[in-house]
């Protein structure tokens, strides 16, 4: 039976990336990524915004690029897979689920500067799709 483990996220970094290197010299970068959704509460009629936080881990050259060019608040597209790790701490078993990224695109607008940014950060090559609106509206559906 075939299976699929794929995650695609667009969000903002909650803190600056943490870059480490394995004893063999391979880069490993971790950061938190926030994704948000807005919806109207059915009871109160008020708009509510809900934010979900994701643990992101990148390896190799991708990790080094993220460490060099990403910073808190930047918008980024991450594609990867879910991975859950199990560990024991003080006799208690804990589980940690993270996204191990294998593709990344910088989405912050050209010239956007946030504290700690490098003005020479790579820019999108123009092939990044626009994510401001969904690809279609309900009005576009013919039935």
pLDDT per position as a tens digit, 88-101: 999 999 999 999 99
Residue 132: pLDDT over 50? no
3 Cβ partners below 8 Å, 6+ apart? none
Model-level pTM? 0.71
Compute, in degrees rounded to 10, the torsion defined by CA atoms 20, 29, 99, 60.
-90
Burial-class residue 18 by CB neighbours within 10 Å (0-12, 13-18, 19+). exposed
CATH class of 7-110: mainly beta
Of residues 17 and 128, more confidence is placed in: 17
The pLDDT mean for the chain works out to 82
pLDDT digits (tens, 9 = 90+) for 40-87: 999 999 999 999 999 999 999 999 999 999 999 999 999 999 999 999
């Amino acid at each position: 039976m075939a299976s699929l483990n794929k995650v695609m996220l667009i969000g903002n970094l909650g803190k600056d990336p943490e870059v480490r290197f394995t004893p063999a010299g391979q880069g490993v970068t971790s950061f938190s990524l926030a994704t948000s959704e807005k919806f109207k509460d059915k009871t109160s009629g008020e708009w509510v915004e809900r934010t979900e936080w994701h643990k992101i881990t990148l390896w190799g050259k991708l990790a080094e690029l993220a460490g060099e060019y990403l910073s808190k608040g930047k918008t980024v597209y991450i594609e990867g897979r879910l991975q859950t790790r199990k560990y024991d701490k003080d006799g208690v078993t804990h589980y940690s689920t993270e996204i191990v990224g294998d593709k990344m695109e910088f989405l912050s607008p050209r010239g956007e500067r946030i504290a700690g940014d490098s003005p020479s950060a790579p820019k999108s090559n123009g092939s990044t799709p626009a994510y401001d609106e969904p690809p279609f509206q309900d009005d576009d559906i013919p039935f």
